[in-house]
């Protein structure tokens, strides 16, 4: 849909920047760096003074909106805290280095949340929206044994789930609650 709107000229700088980033796919894509430069310049405003031809960095409010667009799959509360952490309102503009770092963090964070969602759904065969915590922990441990999930992440997440369910072996957890727990474990300094 965005590509059609982009051809029609219906997108603003924030949407164009998000389109560039999302069309590139992952950080490991060979054209990621070039695409990120395009995304940065799509948001960048030129200096308003006539004597200074040097453009200023990206406006922090536009950047925050971009981060919210890129983090749509992350639960709301952790998403807001992540955006505030990566683009604090105390700064007025964002340099390319800060832009690059924040985009990297958002995309990697989003991938972890997406993998967590996939893992949850693989255990939720009945599509009930809830699974037993013990079954989910077992699935995470199997994934970590196959190196598809980080063992430290699994250990921290298991501890969090056990604390939340008060060690009840029959306790269940919903997808939303699991993703929120995962978000808090993955990036505690930003979302804790």
Half-sphere exposure of 128 (CA within 13 A, CB side): 10
- Find the helix or strand (DSSP H, E) in which 178 lies: helix 175-186
Residue 177 CB-density burial (10 A; 0-12 exposed, 13-18 middle, 19+ buried): middle
Instruction: Give the integer Cα–Cα distance in Å for 144 and 122.
Output: 15
Instruction: Give the integer Cα–Cα distance in Å for 102 and 81.
Output: 13
- Report yes or no: 170 and 132 within 8 Å, Cβ to Cβ: yes
Q: Find the angle CA(84)-CA(90)-CA(96) to the nearest 5 degrees.
A: 75
Per-residue pLDDT of the chain (192 residues; tens, 9 = 90+): 444 444 445 688 899 999 999 888 777 888 889 999 999 999 886 555 544 544 578 999 999 999 999 988 887 878 888 899 899 999 989 999 999 999 998 888 888 888 888 889 999 988 888 998 888 888 888 877 776 666 777 778 888 887 877 767 688 889 888 888 888 787 764 544
Instruction: Give the integer Cα–Cα distance in Å for 25 and 73.
Output: 15
Q: Which of 187, 136, 192 is nearest to 161 (CA)?
A: 136
Sign of CA pseudo-dihedral 100, 87, 177, 127: negative
Residue 161 CB-density burial (10 A; 0-12 exposed, 13-18 middle, 19+ buried): buried
Q: Where are the domains of the chain?
A: 2-110, 112-191
pTM for this entry: 0.76
């Amino acid at each position: 849909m965005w590509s059609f709107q982009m051809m029609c000229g219906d997108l603003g700088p924030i949407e164009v920047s998000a389109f560039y980033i999302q069309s590139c796919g992952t950080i490991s894509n060979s054209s990621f760096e070039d695409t990120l430069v395009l995304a940065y310049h799509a948001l960048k405003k030129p200096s308003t003074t006539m004597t200074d031809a040097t453009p200023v960095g990206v406006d922090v409010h536009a950047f925050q909106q971009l981060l919210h667009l890129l983090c749509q799959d992350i639960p709301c509360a952790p998403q807001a805290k992540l955006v505030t952490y990566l683009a604090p309102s105390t700064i007025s503009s964002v340099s390319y280095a800060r832009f690059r770092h924040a985009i990297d963090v958002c995309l990697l964070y989003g991938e972890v949340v997406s993998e967590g969602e996939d893992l949850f759904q693989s255990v939720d065969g009945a599509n009930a929206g809830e699974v037993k915590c013990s079954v989910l922990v077992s699935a995470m441990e199997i994934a970590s044994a196959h190196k598809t999930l980080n063992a430290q992440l699994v250990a921290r997440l298991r501890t969090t789930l056990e604390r939340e369910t008060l060690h009840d072996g029959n306790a269940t957890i919903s997808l939303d609650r699991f993703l929120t727990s995962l978000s808090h474990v993955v990036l505690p300094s930003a979302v804790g």
